């Protein structure tokens, strides 16, 4: 799958395209988490059990991989750099949420989600780069 040919392809618009790609990747993760809590509302309202939290972390890791790939694809260049930028956004937003919102989940759950989100973002971007490189050979 090639990179999208968009009106944001000119040299002066690369930064805008990069920013939009990173935000789009973050929204992939956010939408997936909202979907999980919509499908399993007890996890959000009654205080999740360990099984739910473990499943949610696996789900979130998969979402982060998808988000990293989407970010790299939309950016159209420097996939690792964009994956790292998405990881930085995951770190900042995750820590901000942890510090500003009361939660029923234990701290290990939040920190694990941040770490897995960061790792998945980079892994997804690298996987996209490898796939794109293999397709161009």
Residue 5 in any domain: the answer is: no
pLDDT of 95: 94
Residue 48 in any domain: the answer is: yes
Helix (H) or strand (E) holding 136: helix 107-136
Residue 46 in any domain: the answer is: yes
pLDDT of 6: 53
Structural domain count, the chain:
1
Residue 40 in any domain: the answer is: yes
Residue 108 belongs to domain spanning = 12-136
Is residue 126's pLDDT more than 70?
yes
| Residues sharing a CB contact under 8 Å with residue 39, sequence separation 6 or more, in sequence order | none
28-82, pLDDT tens digit by residue? 999 999 999 888 876 555 667 888 899 999 999 999 999 999 999 999 999 999 9
Model confidence at 7, pLDDT cuts 50, 70, 90, reads low
């Amino acid at each position: 799958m090639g990179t999208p040919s968009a009106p944001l392809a000119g040299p002066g618009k690369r930064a805008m395209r990069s920013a939009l790609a990173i935000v789009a990747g973050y929204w992939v993760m956010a939408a997936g988490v909202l979907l999980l809590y919509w499908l399993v509302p007890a996890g959000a309202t009654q205080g999740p059990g360990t099984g739910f939290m473990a499943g949610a972390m696996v789900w979130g890791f998969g979402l982060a991989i998808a988000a990293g790939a989407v970010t790299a694809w939309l950016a159209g260049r420097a996939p690792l750099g964009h994956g790292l930028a998405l990881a930085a956004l995951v770190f900042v937003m995750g820590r901000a949420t942890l510090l500003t919102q009361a939660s029923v989940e234990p701290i290990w759950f939040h920190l694990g989600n941040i770490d897995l989100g960061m790792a998945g973002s980079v892994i997804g971007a690298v996987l996209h780069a490898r796939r794109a490189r293999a397709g161009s050979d």
